[in-house]
Amino acid sequence: MSRIAPIQLENTTATTAATLQAVQAKLGVLPNMFTTFAHAPAALNGYLQLSEALASGRLNAQQREMVAIAVAQENSCEYCLSAHAALGQGAGLNDQAIRQAQQGRADNPVDAAILTLALEITRSRGGISDGQLAAARKAGLDDGRIVEVVTHVALNVLTNYLNRLAGTEVDFPRITLSAAA
């Protein structure tokens, strides 16, 4: 049950309604997360701007979705897990890759290094060890990719926390959290 109800377009400012309509035009739907964010237009716009900036980064769409899936699982956010599994499929991830990402694994060594680092950052709240950072570098992640992984983790922690706090109703095909998390 939702603890912060999604805002209705007719109950918001014209500017926020236009932002939500742009999201709907881009995605073809208007997910509950965005209408929940709309209670705080600055937060909605900040999320959208950072998300858009990261889309042109060095992590490809599949890697971004794998990070989002792994972080959602780690943070027990069923909304984000479900949303990013659907978005991951749209980015070309198959069911096996989605399940692996949920477990923090990937077949490709660079993807696996990205997921390992993302989960270490999430679990330690950024306080990874020198050894963990060296392992990420040894696995092929340069400082630019490392900074992008940190930023993707931060973006996903934001949505995980908002959706868990708000009790955002899942409006994607539901993916159940793994019991291992």
Q: Same domain for 93 and 127? A: yes
What is the reported pTM?
A: 0.96
Tokens of 147: 């900074």
**Alpha helix (H) residue ranges in 40-106:** 41-55, 61-74, 78-90, 95-102
Is residue 171 situated within a structural domain?
Answer: no
In this structure, the number of other CB atoms found within 10 A of the CB of residue 126 comes to 11
Q: Same domain for 47 and 70? A: no
Is residue 179 situated within a structural domain?
Answer: no
Q: Same domain for 16 and 49? A: yes
Q: What pLDDT, in 10s, does the model give residues 61-79? A: 999 999 999 999 999 999 9
Handedness of CA 158, 160, 163, 166 (dihedral sign): negative
Q: What is the total residue count of the chain?
A: 181
Q: Which domain covers residue 13, as residue numbers? A: 9-55
Q: Which residues contact 42 (CB under 8 A, 6 or more apart)?
A: none
Is residue 2 situated within a structural domain?
Answer: no
Q: How many domains does the chain have?
A: 2
Contact between residue 27 and residue 117 where contact means Cβ atoms under 8 Å apart: no
Is residue 1 situated within a structural domain?
Answer: no
Q: Same domain for 26 and 47? A: yes
Q: What pLDDT, in 10s, does the model give residues 90-140? A: 999 999 999 999 999 999 999 999 999 999 999 999 999 999 999 999 999
